[in-house]
A and B are shown apart, each in its own frame.
Chain A
Amino acid sequence: MQCGIDLGSRSVKLVIMNPGTKQLAAANVYETARFYREYGQRTDKGLAVDFGALGLPAVTSLTATGYGRNTIAIVGATIIPELKAHMLGASYQTGLTDFTLLDLGGQDSKVIKVRKGRMVDFQTNDKCAASTGRYLENMAAVLDISLAELADYSENPVELSATCAIFGESELIGRMVEGYTTAELAAGVNYSIYKRIKPMLSALKSDKIVFTGGVALGSAIKTFITREMGAEVIVPEHPQLNGAIGCAVYKADK
């Protein structure tokens, strides 16, 4: 069995793939700190993943990627660059070879232009995480609704201008005081994400946009891109597992 692990800042995604059938035998999302604490063991060679404790099928090969790869060596793993893992995952999940990948994760926003199955250009967020899952989590907490609920509102967005995920909280509270409904405020939060990623998407545009990462689980941003950019937005079956799937596919292809 091939294992792919995407070590994200907010969550660790792990898939087990049958190399013959390329079917997923298991797939899990763990909170990052908990994953390291409960299923990781420090050894001389780096961090060993305790597959027994995870209750997963026996793994014959392991490929990993993610933000953690610069700091944590996973014992026995082939390490591949994060953008490559996401590109491979998106190609595998959609069967497309010409598209633009938009991945919105816990802290990262990535836009990758893919032509003939190869990454030809990319952009990522630099110092600011205000178009990511972490921003949505903060805003959901301010609005006192669930993340899943927040991420679906797209009608009549209120205007939010703060460019910081933290200062955005007080601006949102200001708008609440002005009497906007939760639905309008939530739509405003989603729209502010769309506005931040729009320049990156425009620079690397394709007719087809594959949208992955935890943020793709909500419908609002997909709605904005479709409505305002006229592109076809495809959310694959496992948007959040895309990077881990890319890792497993990389190994499976070897």
Chain B
Amino acid sequence: MTRIGITTTVPVEIILAAGHIPVDLNNIFITSPEAGKFVEAAEEAGYPRNICGWIKGLYSIVVNRDGNTGDGIDKVIAVTQGDCSNTHALMETYELAGVETIPFAYPYDRDYDLLKLQMEKLMGALGTDWEAVAAVKRQLDKLRLKVAEIDRLTWEENTVSGFHNHLYQVSCSDFNSDLTAFEADVDAFLTKTASAAEYTDDLRLGFIGVPPIFPDLYPYLETMGARVVYNEVQRQFAMPFVTDDIVEQYRLYTYPYGVFGRIKDIEAEIERRNLDGIVHYVQSFCFRQIEDIILREKLDIPILTIEGDKPGKIDARTRLRIDSFLEMLR
């Protein structure tokens, strides 16, 4: 079976229907104990210092074969529109290194026909059809419902930590490359959670923006008496949208389109989940940092913007800012 690397969430149903294994390169990069070294390796290969750490990690994880999780990556689906324009050059440096890449573009204006065409082209490139994709979708819909239940337990029953909420939802980009094992893990987690004690943190936070490059962000917030009960982009990756039409499903998914669609989703969840404040994570050198202006203008809730560059623990200055923000909310 072919291992297909992905640079962000793509219609994973197509990869699975074609009989391939999806591998979210972000997840294997950030969970590696060598994450920092992957960034350095990309800089040694000539990647500029002032380029996003995620892009550098994605480069090294594919090109440095010995850094892969055993089986390597055979091809990469690179999202050239809707995620990050640096992916254009990332794709080109993959090609330079002899890695086959398949471009995928989310149409900025959410055009149904253009999105459908992109999905059809991806099916052609991987070798599958609508019927097979629809069958996989029905299977994944059931799994997505279970992950949506983990999310509900987080904000409504208060029995799931912010980190686990993040982890299970973010994993839905590739279902940890193993559907059966992931589903068993989700089932076991749901069983365990049924008897879990309620969290009693006094502050309820939302986390918006791309997933953080700091692995200890969620535990740190919890030691300070605050819990993340809404993970915006991770929840989008998990796609809790009820629709039979897979094109519509990827059209409802807010992340790859304009910020105003995201804002509508965030506003609804602030209300529904009764949030006290929001942490907006931005990645150094990312164009999405500019959107902080719009989010601050449009969202009527206290926002702390924190910035991460390289993988590693939260630095002292960011901790100080978090402490002050939580104090402000109290």
Contacts and interface: CB of A to CB of B under 8 A. Distances in A.
A67 B316 contact: yes
B307 A126 contact: yes
Contacts, number: 38
Contact of B302 (A70, A81, A82, A120): A120
A80 B328 CA distance: 12
Interface stretch (B18-26, B129-137, B245-253, B317-325): B317-325
B307 A81 contact: no
Given A120-B302, A126-B307, A70 B324 contact: no
B327 interface: yes
Contacts of A71: 316
Given A67-B320, A122-B321, 7 more contacts: A70-B319, A82-B323, A119-B327, A119-B328, A120-B302, A126-B307, A126-B317
Nearest to A82: B320
Q: Categorize the interface residue count of chain B.
A: 10 to 19
Contacts of B319: 70
B285 to A, nearest CB: 12
Interface in B295-314: 302, 307, 309
Given A120-B302, A121-B302, A126-B307, A84 B316 contact: no
Interface of B: 302, 307, 309, 316-317, 319-321, 323-325, 327-328
A83 B323 CA distance: 9
B328 to A, nearest CB: 5
5 contacts: A70-B316, A81-B323, A83-B327, A119-B327, A124-B321
B316 A122 contact: no
Interface in A68-84: 70-71, 80-84
Contacts of B325: 122
Q: Categorize the interface residue count of chain A.
A: 10 to 19
A121 B319 CA distance: 16
A178 to B, nearest CB: 29
Nearest to A83: B324
Interface string A51-72: 0000000000000000100110
A84 B328 CA distance: 8
Contacts of A124: 317, 320-321
Interface in A122-141: 122, 124, 126-127
B280 to A, nearest CB: 13
Given A120-B302, A121-B302, A126-B307, A81 B317 contact: no
Nearest to A86: B324
Contacts of A118: 328
A70 B324 CA distance: 12
Nearest to B224: A81
A118 B319 CA distance: 21
A82 B316 contact: no
Nearest to B323: A81
A118 B307 CA distance: 25
Contact of B324 (A67, A82, A120, A127): A82
Contacts of A67: 316, 320
B123 to A, nearest CB: 44
Contacts of A83: 324, 327-328
A127 to B, nearest CB: 8
A118 B328 CA distance: 8
B316 A81 contact: no
A127 B316 CA distance: 11
B324 A84 contact: yes
A94 B217 CA distance: 37
A121 B304 CA distance: 8
A81 B323 CA distance: 6
A70 B323 CA distance: 10
Contact of A122 (B307, B317, B324): B324
A128 to B, nearest CB: 11
Q: Can you list the 4 inter-chain pairs with the closest CB atoms, starting with the nearest?
A: A83-B324, A81-B323, A81-B324, A81-B327
